[in-house]
Amino acid sequence: MNKVIFKDIGEMSYQKAWDYQTELHNEVKTAKLERRHWTEEEKAKAEKKNYLVFCEHPPVYTLGKSGSMDHLLLNEKELLEKEIEFFKINRGGDITFHGRGQIVGYPIFDLDEFFTDVHKYVRFLEEAIIRTLADFGVEAGREEGFTGVWLPANEKQPKRKICAIGVHLSRWVTMHGFAFNVNTDLKYFDYIVPCGIDDADKEVTSLSAEIGKKVDLNKVKKCLKQHFADLFEFEYI
């Protein structure tokens, strides 16, 4: 069974966390390249490293490779006034927000050790969130044509996105990941077109908004960790 090193690095600035996951990503890729020159016996004995990193960020907007600057509704001065950082990054997807009360997850997985299927990988990320929400009594699923995790419309509310997903792969090693709104301050989404989606029948939500109270972030992380291990069939070390 595959082994994964779990790291909860707490609150960290986006740049510092990006540098950190890039360091881990390079470590996994380098080890993978080195193993190509080993004997089968050496490969069998080798301890292969994969990582799952959880963190929170101070308020920051990130824009993916396919995103549009038009979806950021604040100018540079307004970003400074509201103390929100902004980064263009190398993941897929459009613009999203990271902030306190949100679980940001960065799986650094060598998919050659799991499965080489990007679509399945993204579906597994979504499924881990969907199962975690179910643990807290919230029904969630997917929205056709969109990535991420969504809550269905009801009599009072439209469809609501609760988790954004954007990934990057190099040599089948993943980085970036998901942003799961748990106790997130949703006002920050008013200053962007979240994920480039401006449909009138779609909004952004959080777990605390859905159940009407603040949620223990550590309890959510515990559930999320377990669902990751079950879906990807690995053990933590």
CATH number of the CATH domain containing 124 = 3.30.930.10
The two three-digit tokens of residue 153, written as one number: 């419309």
**Residue 113: helix, strand or coil by DSSP?**
helix
In one letter, which amino acid is 112?
A: D
In one letter, which amino acid is 170?
A: S
pLDDT of residue 44: 67
pLDDT of residue 214: 97
Token pair 């038009």 in the structure block, residue: 70
For the chain, the farthest-separated pair of C-alpha atoms sits apart, in whole angstroms, at: 62
Alpha helices in the chain (DSSP H): 14-35, 40-45, 76-81, 118-135, 207-211, 217-232
Task: Give dist(CA 85, CA 166) in Å, integer.
Answer: 18
Task: Give dist(CA 206, CA 214) in Å, integer.
Answer: 10
Residues with a known catalytic role: 195
Q: What domain range is 212 assigned to?
A: 2-236
- Of 169, 179, 173, the C-alpha closest to 129 is 179
**The model's pTM:** 0.94
CA distances from 163 to 24, 33, 115, 190, 237 (A): 24, 33, 23, 16, 27
Around 195, how many Cα atoms within 13 Å sit in the side-chain half-sphere? 21
Say if CB 57 and CB 14 are below 8 A apart. Answer: yes
Say if CB 100 and CB 125 are below 8 A apart. Answer: no
Residues in the chain: 237
Strand partners, 61: 86, 97
pLDDT of residue 84: 97
Task: Give dist(CA 135, CA 55) in Å, integer.
Answer: 21
pLDDT of residue 43: 65
Q: In the chain, how many domains are there?
A: 1
Please give the sequence-ordered ranges of beta strands (E in DSSP) within the chain, or none if there are none: 2-11, 51-56, 60-63, 85-88, 95-98, 102-108, 149-151, 159-170, 173-181, 202-204, 234-236
pLDDT tens-digit profile, the chain (237 residues): 899 999 999 999 999 999 999 999 999 999 888 877 777 777 666 778 899 999 999 999 999 988 899 999 999 999 999 999 999 998 888 999 999 999 999 999 999 999 999 999 999 999 999 999 999 999 999 999 899 999 999 988 999 999 999 999 999 999 999 999 999 999 999 999 988 888 888 999 999 999 999 999 999 999 999 999 999 999 998
